[in-house]
Amino acid sequence: MKEKVDFDLDKRTWHPSPLLGQIVLVTTVNKDGSSNIAPKSWISMMVLKPPILALGCNLKHHTAQNILANREFVVNVPGVELTQTIWHSHKLPHPRPVEAVGLTPIPAVKVQPPRIDECKAHLECVFDQCVSYGDEVILLGQIVAVSVDKSICDAAADVYAQMRMVCFLENATYGIIEYANRLETANT
């Protein structure tokens, strides 16, 4: 039997982290109508029909407050080339418009918060419900529109290699999805 090491329950202390979180940039709309951008990594698809995703956030963050007030948000999926921008963006004061981070807002298809042009994909969401754990909340959103860069969809090579999505592992440590393996399945 392999020896196991017990970890504290505080994820911030896990090394190595047995859980990863895809890094995304969430855009919302502030009270004054300007855009707000925030890097997030606690996000996951939860339901297929209807398509529901879950976003973990602190209730004190502008992201959570804006989603609860305006009931819309966009999950923008960056590639690895935006890693430094993402890491430095959380240090900027709020409200934090997309342009303040050096990125380009473009109109969304079905919601008011903008998509980010430099990102590879976008999931436009309408708020569904909130589950609270003190100051931490899980915001559930129904996906109402999805878009991906055409160049990725048209790529002859592995589309995941083209996206080069980023995952948070632990403080100041990230991983990159650089290729995908497809399982061989038997046709029956």
What's 11's DSSP letter?
A: G
Average pLDDT of 48-57? 98
187 domain residue, yes or no? no
Q: What is the pLDDT of residue 187?
A: 64
More confident call, 186 vs 173:
173
5 domain residue, yes or no? no
Domain that holds residue 40: 20-176
26 domain residue, yes or no? yes
Query: Which runs of E-coded beta strand occur in the chain?
Result: 21-22, 24-29, 35-40, 43-47, 52-58, 72-77, 105-106, 115-116, 121-133, 136-148, 166-170, 173-176
Q: pTM higher than 0.85 for the full model?
A: yes
138 domain residue, yes or no? yes
1 domain residue, yes or no? no
CATH code for the domain in which residue 118 is found: 2.30.110.10
Number of domain units in the chain: 1
d(CA 64, CA 137): 8
Residue 20: exposure state from Cβ atoms within 10 A (0-12, 13-18, ≥19): middle
15 domain residue, yes or no? no
